[in-house]
Structure 1
Amino acid sequence: MTTTAEPQSGTRIGVLEGSPAAAEADAVVVGLLAGDGDPVLAPGAEEIDAAFSGELAALLALAGATGKAEEVVKLPARGAVAAPLVIGLGLGKPGEDGEVAADTVRRAAGTLGRVLTGINRIVVAKGVIPAAFAEGVLLGAYRFTAFKGDHGKAPVAEVLVAGADADELAHAAAVAEAVTTTRDLINTPPNALYPETFAARAAALAEAAGLEVEVLDDAALAEGGYGGILGVGQGSSRKPRLVRVTWAGGEAPARKVALVGKGITFDTGGISIKPAAGMDHMTSDMSGAAAVIATTVLAAKLNLPVAVTATVPMAENMPSDTAYRPGDVLTMYGGKTVEVLNTDAEGRLILADAMVRAAEDSPDYLVETSTLTGAQMVALGTRTAGVMGTEDLRDRVAALGRSVGEDAWAMPLPEHLRGELDSRIADLANVTGNRFGGMLAAGLFLREFVADGVPWAHIDIAGPSFNTGGPWGYTPKGGTGTPVRTLLALLEDIAANG
């Protein structure tokens, strides 16, 4: 048995050396495929089936199994195998190629990680995609208990996968750790996570991975002319920060990538205050910032040959006698002026400063992600991110997101909407006067702060970053960690293909 890294879930993942039928464990897991009638054992479970005289699928069917995706059915082993329990894990119907999609395995394993608590070890028979299973079960086992006195039953302590490659499992564990780090930051309440403490946590994560860190406080932001970050943050006693974290990319980085993430640690809407209902969800308004920090640290841990710098503006948007007002004009980093028509359109203001600063590094690509608009959820729902930007990079990001199970869809930047951002007294306004196309107008606003010739993409994760409903698959209630896996897929693709 070879054990890999352990993410925040506390669950260890490793390779099972030897027979799953003979392994000492609390349960052995076999994959089940849905057919026209009874479920069918996934390939790789033959040894376990033989221990049940070839009747395992039929016995699981008697226990209620159908093979439906994400179904978990338990069967007493009654001495047929070393483990006292056999678990049939539904993988659904295979595709036309006869294979089960990786994210189907990932979601099923996530469900297993959520429901298996209070046990020490499970072993998994061959027949699942090991890396997808490992990633899913680790993400499903995630719990956020930092502020609970009663932590409840712990998730499964150890998962051993038969026939897996140790390096693939180590990669999956590193990805899960980055996602759960992001979730932890999102789920931390805003009285504990505000610009100063968020910057400190980001710096600690980066320094532990050997990365270069720069933190600008409010005085340095004023000296540097970061009018967007300062304007949004001036209503709070908790002063804003700008954090930059850099992975140099090793000896021969293929490309240089700038990542930017929105770090509003709490958003009341400011003077344009939000309704009270659901305002507690605004603890998640720094999801983009958490994702790009965790992704940059992950790039270093995986030793990716891509230079990555995360530029992260952090502020708290509060109403007070010092808060910025509708009608104010802010001078952004780089000199453009913006008329504030709505103080609840604050994310684009801090991002504009950060994007201009990020472009000064002459990156080959600039990718920004943020919980930017409620209009994203109106257009695409709560699970699909909207991707805008330079056409080739936009489509590349959206396709890579879908490939790893973080649903994303390419969206246009219609030129006819740009005129609605014109201001009477400044270079542009922060919102249009039109309630339609709000996600697209926000993308057009951000485009104004992208340096000429730099391919860029904006990922609006207002819905996907924070699950307000019940858990599903490997997605918990609360912070989801989206789009860490999309960003990693992009960095790996850039490393391989430029």
Structure 2
Amino acid sequence: MDFSIKTFDARTTLAQAKSGVIVVGVFENKVMTAAAAGLDGDGAITAALKSGDLSGKAGSTLLLRGAAGATAERVLLLGLGKEEPVTPKDYSTAVQALARTLSSLGAADALVSLPFERVKERDANWAMQALVLALCESRYRFDELKSKKEPAPAGVRKVALVVDASSAAAGRAVLAQAQALANGVELAKDLGNLPPNVCTPTYLANTAKKLAKQFGFGVEVLDRKQMEALKMGSFLSVTNGTVEPPKFIVLKHQGGKSREAPTVLVGKGITFDSGGISLKPGAAMDEMKYDMCGAASVLGTFRAIGEMGLKLNVIGVIPTTENMPSGTATRPGDIVTSMSGQTIEILNTDAEGRLILCDALTYVERFKPAVVVDIATLTGACITALGHHNSGLFTRHDDAHDALADALLAAGKTADDTAWRLPIEDSYQEQLKSNFADMANIGGAPGGSITAACFLERYTRAYTWAHLDIAGTAWKGGAAKGATGRPVPMLTTFLINRAQAAR
């Protein structure tokens, strides 16, 4: 989809614009936006509101053809909810409905004139980005592996956003940034939706190399021998049952100052999780292809910041492997030594994400990071705690970690990709005690997402760190099955905010 900015001067008005459809807003109390009023030359919009043909509730729509007040073929009235100010929820509902409507129209292009600056606690940049993301989401399809493709979506393909002339340059910058973010989300979705016989650790490594070539990232891919040399015994224990070679991917975006400490993202990349010897139940096991969505979110975020040319140093680290049962697979009861030298009693081989992440979190110490955020589909317990709305956020409790948590939560709120903070306390660490090793890899059912985070915390004491458990938000099941692309919006917004603060 093509996006552009459109302005009008004193000689040309919105009513005189030629377009397949002009989109304007109305409110629940039968009040029109200024743009809608400018198209009401024959009173058609007023009549529609008075008659009750359009309620004005957020997401309601009414299409007028041949309106005398407009040169355009169609005028689409879009309900925005209650007047002044529009709530972010109502605005999001409205633009999602708009996206669905535009996808089914016969028009090829659209002019969208909405009150972008009148959303409560948000600015016009947020409103325009939300519109772009909704439109891109509505056109997303994953049918590349079907022998007969789905019919290409019809509808509007070119969208121009109407802004004041004084805001045109800023609007173009917002559109470019929003399109980059949408592209990053799409990459994360594509990787998640690919089947595990295609999206292997090698495939993820090759994707990282392609991104590096396209955007000038530094890239390094470690193989098994190099991981053995680094003594990544915990990570390698997960790889014992698979014939697919594991990979350890490092991407570097050097957009900031040469001596600036990097922000590091670590993504869990289990390309298929059978549970290993602790085999999962068969029902919905196909969805375990999504156990690499942490890795996908790191690659999607790099896709976005690479296109933006973000002025920040960012490093992405992705440990990736399958977790499979076989005669050589790691057994419950085995004890392994992590890269940090700490020993782990593996009580459950289905708690493998933390086993690959702990070595990655030790590895990143070499970068002397400003902050580290790991992203993982880590625990079913997080779904039980938070459902499918919020990702779980975990950090230590001190000033530096509180500031990191606040920054991530704020970015999630801005990006409509929210998280909820859960505790990490010493009392939970007690559940990880082992009679035979430094720690066990599980702490029992109570507080399962918290004890998983506590396990990771033991490997992060050299830097400021946060953990995002995205088990409930990275994909949808059932009839709507598919990757969501989360938390690419949160991570990208978080990095944008850090780049702006560093200027």
Q: TM-score, normalized by length of structure 1?
A: 0.89
In the TM superposition, what whole-angstrom CA distance separates every residue of 1:143-167 from its partner, at most 9, and x where no partner exists? 2221232222415311111115211
Report how far residue 17 of structure 1 moved.
4.3
SS in structure 2 opposite 1:238? coil
Name the residue aligned to 2:492: 488
1:131-280 pair list within 5 angstroms: 131-148=129-146, 149-154=148-153, 156-163=156-163, 165-251=171-257, 255-280=261-286
SS at match of 2:111: strand
Counterpart position of 1:108: 94
Q: From the superposition, tell whether residues 33 and 201 of structure 1 become closer, same or farther in structure 2 (CA, over 3 Å).
A: same
Q: Does the CA-based 8 Å contact 2:180-2:305 persist in structure 1?
A: no
1:64–1:267 CA distance, 2 compared to 1 (3 A): farther
Deviation of the 1:202 alpha carbon: 1.9
Is the counterpart of residue 28 in structure 1 residue 28 in structure 2? no
* Structure 1 alignment gaps of length 5 or more: 1-10, 472-476
Task: Name the SS of the counterpart of 1:309 in structure 2.
Answer: strand
Letter in 1 for 2:413: R
Query: Take 2:176 and 2:109, find their aligned partners in 1: how far apart are those partners?
Result: 18
Rounded Cα–Cα distance in structure 2 between residues aligned with 1:41 and 1:143: 35
Displacement of 1:102? 4.6
AA paired with 1:26? G
The structure whose residues are more often helix, as a share, is: 2
The correspondence for 1:322, drawn from 310, 322, 328, is: 328
Is 1:428 paired with 2:439?
A: yes
Are residue 442 (structure 1) and residue 441 (structure 2) matched?
no
Matches within 5 A, 1:43-62: 43-50=34-41, 52-53=42-43, 55-59=44-48, 62=51
Residue type of the alignment partner of 1:242: F
In the TM superposition, residue 255 of structure 1 has moved relative to its aligned partner by 4.4
Structure 1 residue identity aligned to 2:496: E
* Structure 2 equivalent of residue 412 of structure 1: 423
Q: Deviations over 1:116-159 (max 9, x none)?
A: 33642222124233333223222332222212322224153111
Q: Which moved more, 1:258-267 or 1:392-401?
A: 392-401
State whether residues 53 and 62 of structure 2, in contact with CA within 8 Å, keep that contact through their aligned partners in structure 1: yes
CA distance in 2: counterparts of 1:64 and 1:193, whole angstroms:
49
Aligned residues: CA RMSD:
2.2
- The DSSP-based 3-state class of the residue aligned with 1:315 is strand
Question: 1:23 and 1:267, CA in 2 relative to 1: closer, same or farther beyond 3 A?
Answer: farther
Are positions 1:12 and 2:11 aligned together?
Answer: no
- The change in CA–CA distance for 1:232 and 1:62 in structure 2 (over 3 A counts) is farther
Residue pair 2:261, 2:368 contacting (<8 A) in 1 also: no
Query: Which residue does the alignment assign to 1:6?
Result: none
Contact 2:257 2:312 in 1 (8 A): no
Q: Name the residue aligned to 2:121.
A: none
What amino acid sits opposite 1:138 in the alignment? C
Q: Once the 2 structures are TM-superposed, how far is the Cα of residue 246 of structure 1 from its aligned partner? A: 0.3
User: 2:469 corresponds to which residue?
Assistant: 460
- Give the letter aligned to residue 5 of structure 2: V
**C-alpha contact (below 8 Å) 2:180/2:303 kept by paired residues:** no
What is the percent sequence identity of the aligned residues? 36
Match of 1:307 among 313, 318, 330: 313
CA contact (8 A) 1:421 1:428 kept: yes
Q: How far does residue 374 in structure 1 lie from its aligned partner after superposition? A: 0.8
Separation in 2 of the partners of 1:124 and 1:336?
58
Q: CA deviation at 1:269?
A: 1.2
Moved more, 63-72 or 290-299: 63-72
Name the SS of the counterpart of 1:245 in structure 2: strand
**Equivalent-residue separation in structure 2 for 1:482 and 1:355 (angstroms):** 21
Distance 2:140 2:188 in 1: 12
Is contact 1:370-1:462 (8 Å) kept? yes
Range with bigger deviation, 374-383 or 386-395: 386-395
| Partner SS state of residue 430, structure 2 | helix
Task: Provide structure 2 residue ranges, at least 5 long, that are not aligned to the other structure.
Answer: 117-126, 396-400
Quick one: distance in 1 between partners of 2:212 and 2:91?
Answer: 32
In the TM superposition, what is the alpha-carbon distance from 1:62 to its structure 2 partner?
A: 4.6
Alignment partners' CA distance in 2, 1:296 and 1:197? 16
Secondary structure of the structure 1 residue equivalent to 2:362: helix
The whole-number CA distance in structure 2 between the counterparts of 1:268 and 1:40 is: 56
What SS does the aligned partner of 1:436 have? Answer: coil
**What amino acid does structure 2 have at the position aligned with 1:319?**
P
CA apart distance, 1:43: 4.0
List structure 1 segments (4+ residues) > 6 angstroms apart after TM superposition. none
Structure 1 residue 291 displacement after superposition: 1.0
Are 1:402 and 2:393 counterparts?
no
How far does residue 244 in structure 1 lie from its aligned partner after superposition? 0.5
The amino acid across from 1:343 in the alignment is: T
Q: State the Cα distance separating 1:78 from its structure 2 match.
A: 4.7
Contact 1:31 1:42 in 2 (8 A): yes
Partner of 2:296: 290
Partner of 2:76, secondary structure, is: strand
If the length of structure 2 is used for normalisation, what is the TM-score?
0.88
Q: Deviations over 1:275-315 (max 9, x none)?
A: 12221221211111111122133223323222100000111
Q: Deviations over 1:194-249 (max 9, x none)?
A: 11111111221222111000011222222222222221122111121110000112
* Count of residue correspondences: 473
Aligned AA (1:15):
I
Whether the aligned pair in 2 keeps the contact of 1:106 and 1:132 (CA below 8 Å) is: yes
Alpha-carbon shift at residue 73 of structure 1 (Å): 3.2
CA–CA separation in structure 1 for the residues paired with 2:90 and 2:319:
36
